[in-house]
């Protein structure tokens, strides 16, 4: 039927809306369990995966092959879930990774800062077992906003609050849970949101491409190279400057790959110094 992604500012009510929408539609609701499933499926550490899911890598980590593997696994996990359709996905870059997918409703949930502070103060005792004052709640929100902004800027060079990344923006200052849920349901049930074969094909292409990238990032002979991956109907096209033969071999072993083509990219020579 559709894929719904929900990005939200802390205290705006995103999870509450997401769970309610999933319940009304009979969709799968995916949040933290995506990390657990990805860690098990791709054989990586759950703790490290969770850390990179919530924060941006440090300057040193950005050049680390292992970090690149974990980030690729996170992206692949989202595509794995999206390929199943009929799902509500909380955060994790879905608004960017699923751009252009016709049956994906990319939603942003916001609310005024002061209202978010009040909501966090109210929920903290129930969720964390501790009471927080307004100053502490405000600091928690600012830190959470900054982490999301930094992570999306690092990964995709976008401002995660840019409304052009979304199909729907919900301000829950007045329009809270039930009304917001009705808005989402009304859009998802429209005929133009129905899943088509072309839409499924687009998601399948991106999913397989991401699985190939994960395999390349995990293999000791290809993990240190930047290799471009494109997929169309199971045919994988690789472009790189080195280790392309091994990359083709690795890609062929990924389930769902029909064929693999490789293209060596020539590195232009460095021009001589001219005084």
Question: Is the per-residue pLDDT at 236 higher than 70?
Answer: yes
The residue ranking higher by pLDDT, 266 or 17, is 17
Q: What pLDDT shows up at residue 241?
A: 87
Question: Is the per-residue pLDDT at 120 higher than 80?
Answer: yes
With vertex at residue 164, the alpha carbon angle to CA 161 and CA 169, rounded to the nearest 5 degrees, is 65
pTM of structure: 0.88
The residue ranking higher by pLDDT, 53 or 83, is 83
Q: What pLDDT shows up at residue 275?
A: 43
How does the average pLDDT of the chain come out, rounded?
91
Whether residues 79 and 183 share a domain: the answer is yes
The count of domains in the chain is 2
In terms of residues, how long is the chain? 275
Residue showing tokens 């399948």: 204
Q: Is residue 136 part of a domain?
A: yes
Q: How far apart are CA 122 and CA 116, in angstroms?
A: 10
> Which class for 120: exposed (0-12), middle (13-18), buried (19 or more C-beta within 10 A)?
buried
Whether residues 145 and 255 share a domain: the answer is no
Question: Is the per-residue pLDDT at 69 higher than 50?
Answer: yes
Whether residues 11 and 79 share a domain: the answer is yes
Quick one: average pLDDT of 54-72? 78
Q: How far apart are CA 51 and CA 248, in angstroms?
A: 31
Q: What pLDDT shows up at residue 43?
A: 86
Residue showing tokens 């005792």: 125
Lowest mean per-residue pLDDT among 43-52, 139-148, 220-229: 43-52
Question: Is the per-residue pLDDT at 226 higher than 60?
Answer: yes
54 with 75: CB under 8 angstroms?
A: no
% of the chain beyond a pLDDT of 70: 93
Q: What pLDDT shows up at residue 270?
A: 58
Domain ranges, residue 256: 219-264
Whether residues 26 and 143 share a domain: the answer is yes
Q: Is residue 179 part of a domain?
A: yes
End-to-end CA distance of the chain: 64
Nearest by Cα to 218 from 57, 41, 32, 98: 41
151 with 56: CB under 8 angstroms?
A: yes
Q: Is residue 273 part of a domain?
A: no
């Amino acid at each position: 039927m559709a894929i719904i992604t929900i990005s939200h500012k802390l205290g705006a009510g995103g999870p509450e809306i997401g769970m309610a929408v999933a319940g009304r539609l009979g969709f799968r609701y995916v949040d933290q369990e995506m990390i657990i499933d990805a860690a098990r499926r791709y054989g990586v550490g759950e703790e490290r995966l969770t850390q990179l899911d919530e924060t941006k890598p440090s300057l040193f980590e950005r050049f680390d092959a292992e970090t690149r593997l974990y980030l690729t696994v996170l992206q692949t996990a989202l595509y794995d879930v999206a390929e199943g359709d009929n799902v509500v996905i909380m955060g994790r870059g879905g608004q960017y990774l699923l751009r252009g997918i016709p049956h994906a409703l990319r939603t942003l949930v916001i609310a005024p800062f002061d209202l978010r502070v009040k909501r966090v103060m109210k929920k903290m005792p129930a969720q964390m077992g501790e009471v927080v004052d307004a100053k502490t709640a405000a600091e928690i929100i600012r830190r959470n906003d900054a982490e999301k902004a930094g992570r999306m800027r690092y990964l995709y060079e976008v401002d995660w609050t840019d409304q052009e990344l979304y199909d729907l923006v919900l301000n829950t200052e007045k329009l809270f849970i039930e009304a917001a849920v009705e808005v989402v349901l009304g859009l998802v049930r429209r005929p133009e949101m129905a899943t088509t074969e072309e839409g499924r094909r687009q998601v399948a292409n991106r999913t397989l491409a991401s699985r190939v990238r994960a395999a390349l990032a995990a293999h000791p002979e290809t993990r240190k190279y930047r290799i471009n991956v494109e997929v169309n109907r199971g045919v994988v096209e690789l472009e790189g400057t080195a280790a392309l033969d091994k990359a083709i071999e690795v890609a062929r072993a990924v389930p769902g790959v029909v064929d693999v083509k490789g293209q060596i990219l020539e590195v232009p020579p460095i021009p001589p110094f001219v005084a």
